[in-house]
Structure 1
C-alpha cells in the first residue's frame, strides 16, 4: 500500500491512498464494494452499506427519523500534503465535532496511522442573498436560474447535446429539475423564482428542461452527479465563451477546454448567483460518502461518491444559491459542477464546497461544453 520513509512515516501515492480508503470503508464502516459503470478504473472502487445488514438497517432507521447515522456523517477523500504534489494522505470529513472521537474515526486512524490522515470538521452538508440575482440578457455564466418550482440556483455554463446538437444550459438536478420532480418541457426561469422570475411572465422563460440524472435516495446508492440540461428557447441571447462578474474586475476570463486531471491543492475559481466571484483550492479529490440533505418539501437524504472538496481562499467559497456554478481552474478550464456545501468548518473556517467532476457530468448527460466555436 505504501513505502517506508525516514522517521517511520509512510508516503502514499494515489494507488496507495485509494487502497487505504477502501480498507477503511471495509473495516471501520463495514461497507461493501458496489458496482459502477460510470467510473474509470483509476478512480478506485465505491463502497456503501449492504442491504440486509445491521449497518444498512441503522442508516435507514435514522433517515426515517430525519437524522443521520454516524456512518453517514463521515466522508473520506484524498488530501495532498503541503509542498509535496505526489504524496497524499486520507482526509476524514466529519459533520459534527463530536465525531472526532467516534468508533469509525478511531478505527480509521488505527488503520492508516494518525500521521497519514487528517480529520476535518465541516458541519452539516446542504445543497447550495445574492450577487448575481437579477435579470441578465444576454444570458451569462453565473446568473440566477431555476425551475419554476424551486427558489433559485446558478447557470453553470452553456452546453451542446452530442446527439441533437441543441444548445442549452447546465446546472444541478435540484436547480433545473426540482430534485427529480421536473418533467421534460418544464419552463426554466431567468432569473430564478426567488429573484423575480415567474412562470406566468414569458420574458423570464429562457429554456425548457430536457434531461437530468435522477438522484437515488437509497442508503446504498452511489450517486456521482447532481446535474440537468435545458435547451435554450429560440432567440434568447447568450454570452457562451466568457465568464465575468459585474462587481469584480478580476472575474473575466475565456472558457477553455475541460480539465479532468485536477489534483488536490489546485487553485480554482467560480462565479455564482449568491457569492459572485470567489477563489479557493481543491482540498481533496475522490471524496466518498458525502451525505447531503437535498432541498424540496420532503428534505430527502442522498449520498454522493467521487466528489471534489473545495475550500475558499478567504472565507466561504460558496453559499446557498450558488448550486450549479461551474468551477474553473486558474487557466479557465472547466473542472467541476458545484452542488452542495457546509456553512462552517474547513481550513479557513468558511466551510467546505462539494462538486461533481465535470467530465462525469458531461458524459452522463451526453453533452459537451459549448463556447460558440
Structure 2
C-alpha cells in the first residue's frame, strides 16, 4: 500500500510539471505575445524643432539692498540709546543721545560772539555813513573817511564769521543726536549708555540694513560666458528679452517672487576665474536674509531650432558618446548625437537629429541589432510600457 501511495504522488507531481511547461509554452508562443519569432513592440516619438530657452543655474549669496553703519560725528559720552535692537527704524530717527552740554555751551558762546560782532558792525556802519557825508563838505579828511568805510566792511565781515561759527556750533549740537542714515532693520548695538565715543571712529555703533529688496550675487565661469558669446556670434543662439530670475532656497523650496537681472560685471576674478552677475529680488516679507546661500535659474539664450528628447531615450556607447535608436526602414537604427544642456527631464540635441526622425523611447532595452520591431507612437504600446 505504501508503494502504491508513493507512485500516485509521483504521477500527480509529473502531471503538474507537464501542465506548467505547457502553460509557459502557450504564453511565449501565443498569438499577440512577444514570442521569439515575433517583432519587438516599441514606442517612438517624432523629433520636432522648437524654440528652447536655455536656462542656466548658478549659485550665489544674498546681500542687503542698502547697508549703512551708524557712527558718531562728534565726540562725547552716550547718555541713552533710543531704539530697540532688531526693530525697524526710519531715516532721520534718533538712535543715540550724546551728552550735549558742552555743545550747547559752544552754541551759546557763538551766539554771544555774533551779537557782539553785530553791535560792532552797526557802530562802524553808522560812523562810515556820517563820514561819507562830511567828507563832501571837507569836515573830515579823506583818509579818515576811508578808514571809517574800511572799518564798516570789517564789521560786516566779522558778523559773517560769527554767523558761520554759530552755524557750526549748532550743527555739532544736532550731531549729539545720532540719527539713522537710512530706513531699515537695525542690528545689535555695540555700545551702551556711559560709553565714550569719538568722531568718525572705526567701530560702528550699529548697522542698518534695508531688506525691502535683496541683491543676489551669482558667479558664472568666464569659460561659460565666452562659450555663450561665441554661440551668440555664430547664430546658434538668439538673445532673450527676458531678464527674470527664479530663486531656489537652501531648503530646496522655490522663492515665490521672481527677480530681475541687473547687470553682469566686466571684470573676471583672478582667483576664481568667474564673473559676477547681480539680480534684485523684492523681499516684502523678509524671507531673504543677507548671507543666505541660494541657487538662481536664468534664461541666457534661446535656441530657435532646438530638438528636445527624453533623457531615457539616450544611451552611451563604450566611449561615452551619446546615441539614440531610430525607427529605420529596415529595423532599429542607432544614431550618434551631440547633446547640449538638460531642459527639465529632456536633453537638448544640438546635432545628429532631424525634424521628423522617429526616436524609440519605449521598449528600448529589448531592441537587438537586426531584430524586427513593431513601432507604434509612444503611449500606445502596452507591452513596451510594461517593460520600461
Same fold at TM > 0.5: no
Query: Counting helix residues as a fraction of each chain, which structure ranks higher?
Result: 2
* Range into which the TM-score falls when normalised by the shorter chain: under 0.3
- Greater length-normalized contact order (CA 8 Å, ≥ 6 residues apart): 2
